[in-house]
Structure 1
Amino acid sequence: MKPYAEVIGDPIAHSKSPVIHNFWLDQLGMDAEYRTFHVKPEALADYFAARRADPNWRGCNVTVPHKLAALDHVADPGDVRGSIGAINTVFRDEDGGWIGTNTDAAGFHAPIAGLDLTRQPVAVIGAGGAARAILFALSKLGVGRVTILNRNPLKAAALLATFGLKGDALPLSAPLPPAKLVVNASTLGMTGQPPLDIDLTPLPQDAVVYDAVYAPIETPLLAQAHDRGLDTVDGLEMLVGQAALAFELFFGAAPPRDRDDELRARLLG
C-alpha cells in the first residue's frame, strides 16, 4: 500500500482537500495519495489508535468538529493547546511520534498579508476551532477592537480574553460594527448548514469580507459583499494556504504553488 494522508471530520464528503493534495502529488510525480475519512466524535479515539498502527499513514488534517478534541490524542510540543487551543494537522515527526499543529492561522493570514489592520476594527463570526486560529493570527497583527458574534456570547468573551484582544462579544443577531475586516469563521452558510443572516450595511466602502466557508465558493455573505462593491476573500484561499503547509509536513516536499491558478480552476470545475 502506498503512503497516504487524509482529512477527517463529521461531515466530510464536502471536503476539497483531496483535490488539492492529490493535484500536488500528481504534479510532483509522488507515489502517494490523500483521501477523506468520515469520523464521528465518538469514534475519534479509535481512529487515532488504528492509524498509529499503520506505517503508511503520514497524518491527517482535522476539521469540524474535531479540532479541539484531537489535541487529546497527539503530542503537543509546540503548546498549540496553550496558544491557539485547536489543531488542524497531525503528522509524524522524525522519531515516529505523532504531533499536532495548526496551519489555519498562517493559511488565514496569507491572503490578507498586504492589508494594514493596525488598530483597525475587526469582526469575527463564530467561536469554534477555526475562529481560534483566526483570532490568534489577528492578535499578532496589532488590530483594534475585535467584535465576535456567536450563538454563545460568553464563549466568545472567553476567546477575547484568551488572545488578549479588546472588544465585544455579541449574539449573532447583533448588528455588525463598522469594521475594516469581517471574517466568517463559522459553518453558517456552508452547504447543508443554516444560512448566515447578517447585514453588511454598517461596513465602510474599504472593508474586506472574508468567508472561510468554501462549499459553496460564492456564499451568500460574499454575494452580498460583491453587491456592495466590497473586496472579498473566499474560503479556497485559506484552504489552499493551510493545505500547503500541511502537505510539506505529510510528504516532505514543498507543493508547486506556481500552479495555483490551475489548481483553483480544478477546484471550481
Structure 2
Amino acid sequence: MMMSGKTRVAGVMGWPVTHSRSPRLHGWWLEEHGIDGAYIPLPVRPEDFATAVRALPMLGFAGANVTVPHKEAALRACDDVSDLAERIGAVNTLVCRDDGTLYGDNTDGFGFLENLRAGCRGWQADAGPAVVLGAGGAARAVVAALQDAGCPEVRLTNRTRARAEELAASLGGAMTVVDWDARAEALDGAGLLVNTTTLGMEGAPPLEMPLDPLPRGALVTDIVYAPLVTDLLTRAEARGNPVVDGLGMLLHQGRPGFEAWFGVFPEVTDDLRRFVLGEPGA
C-alpha cells in the first residue's frame, strides 16, 4: 500500500479487531475508485478507548468505524452525535471534522434496511409486524430503523425479559414485549422475523425457533454472517419463506462512513461480497 502526504486515513476501532472484515471492505472500495486512502485495523483496549478516540483528529485521521465493545463509549466521547445515534445509545461511525471535533453517527440501521431491500426486491417495512429476537445493541439499531421505516408493530422477545422491556421503554412506539417461551406465538401474522442474537452463530448455542405460525410470505433474516447461511435461514427457506443473510448489513452500513471520509458513496456488488468473504476467484 503506497501512501502519499495527501493520503486520507480511516480505520476500525475494536478489541479485538483482528476478526473485522471492514479493512477488506473499505480496501476494495478504495482500490475500485482509485482513491489515495487507507483503512486500517486499530486494536484499542477498553481502558484506552477514550484517549485513543480523542487522538484521531490530532493524528490526521478522516474518521473511523467503531465495533465491539466500544460503541457505547464512542457516543460519550463525541463532541456531537446524530439524533439517531443518541436514540440508539451507540456510535459506529466517527467523522473527524476540520476543526478537530468528533461527530458520531450510527449506520447499523441503514445497513440493515438496505440489506433487506437489496436481498428481497419489493420488501416494505410497512407490510406487517416485525418479530425481533434479542435486545442488545444490534436489536436497538434494528428496531429504530424499522420504526423509522414505517413498521406498524415490533414484537420484541429476549431470553432476559427485563432487557427487552428496557429497550421498549427507551425507544417507545408500537412495541410489544413477548416472553421468550412465547416467541413462536409472536410469529402469527408477522411480515418479518429478525434474529439479532448470537444464537446460531459459529461457536454459540443453536437458535431454537419454531416457524410453524410464521406466514409463508414473511421475510426471515439473521444478522449473523458466520455461518453465512444459519440454521434459521435454512429452515425458513425450506418452508418457502424469502430469506436474507446478514453479510449485507455489514457491507451497507459501511457506505455512509466511506462517503464521509473519502468522498464517494460506494456500491455493494456480488464481487464485493465474495471478496469480503474471502472466496476463491474474488
Unaligned runs of 5+ in 2: none
Matched position secondary structure for 1:8: strand
Tell me the CA shift for residue 209 of structure 1.
Answer: 0.8
Aligned residues: 266
- Match of residue 148 from structure 1: 156
- Match of residue 197 from structure 2: 186
Tell me the CA shift for residue 5 of structure 1.
Answer: 1.5
2:17 paired with 1:12: yes
CA distance in 1, matches of 2:101, 2:36: 23
- Residue type matched to 1:261 in 2? D
CA distance in 2, matches of 1:33, 1:116: 36
Q: 2:124 aligns with which of 116, 140, 154?
A: 116
Let me know the Cα RMSD of the aligned residues.
Answer: 2.2
Matched position secondary structure for 1:46: helix
- Match of residue 266 from structure 1: 275
Cα 1:78/1:206, change in 2 over 3 Å: same
- Match of residue 50 from structure 2: 45
- Indicate conservation of the 8 Å contact 1:139/1:164, yes or no: no
- Which segment drifts farther, 167-176 or 95-104? 167-176
- Indicate conservation of the 8 Å contact 2:57/2:97, yes or no: no
- Match of residue 95 from structure 1: 99
- Which segment drifts farther, 124-133 or 159-168? 159-168
Cα 1:41/1:127, change in 2 over 3 Å: farther
Task: Report percent identity of matched pairs.
Answer: 42
CA distance in 2, matches of 1:229, 1:64: 34
- Residue type matched to 2:21 in 1? K
- Residue type matched to 1:37 in 2? L
- Residue type matched to 2:206 in 1? P
Alignment TM-score, normalising by the size of structure 1: 0.88
Q: How does 1:165-184 map to 2 (within 5 A)?
A: 165-176=173-184, 177-178=186-187, 179-184=190-195
Cα 1:173/1:12, change in 2 over 3 Å: farther
CA distance in 1, matches of 2:91, 2:223: 16
- Indicate conservation of the 8 Å contact 1:147/1:168, yes or no: yes
Alignment TM-score, normalising by the size of structure 2: 0.85
- Residue type matched to 1:133 in 2? A
- Match of residue 3 from structure 1: 8
- Indicate conservation of the 8 Å contact 1:119/1:145, yes or no: no
- Indicate conservation of the 8 Å contact 1:86/1:132, yes or no: no
- Indicate conservation of the 8 Å contact 1:154/1:169, yes or no: no
CA distance in 1, matches of 2:148, 2:68: 24
- Indicate conservation of the 8 Å contact 2:85/2:106, yes or no: no
2:172 paired with 1:199: no
Matched position secondary structure for 2:56: helix
Unaligned runs of 5+ in 1: none
Tell me the CA shift for residue 208 of structure 1.
Answer: 0.7
* Per-residue Cα deviation, 1:204-228 (whole angstroms, up to 9, x for no partner): 1111111112222112222222222
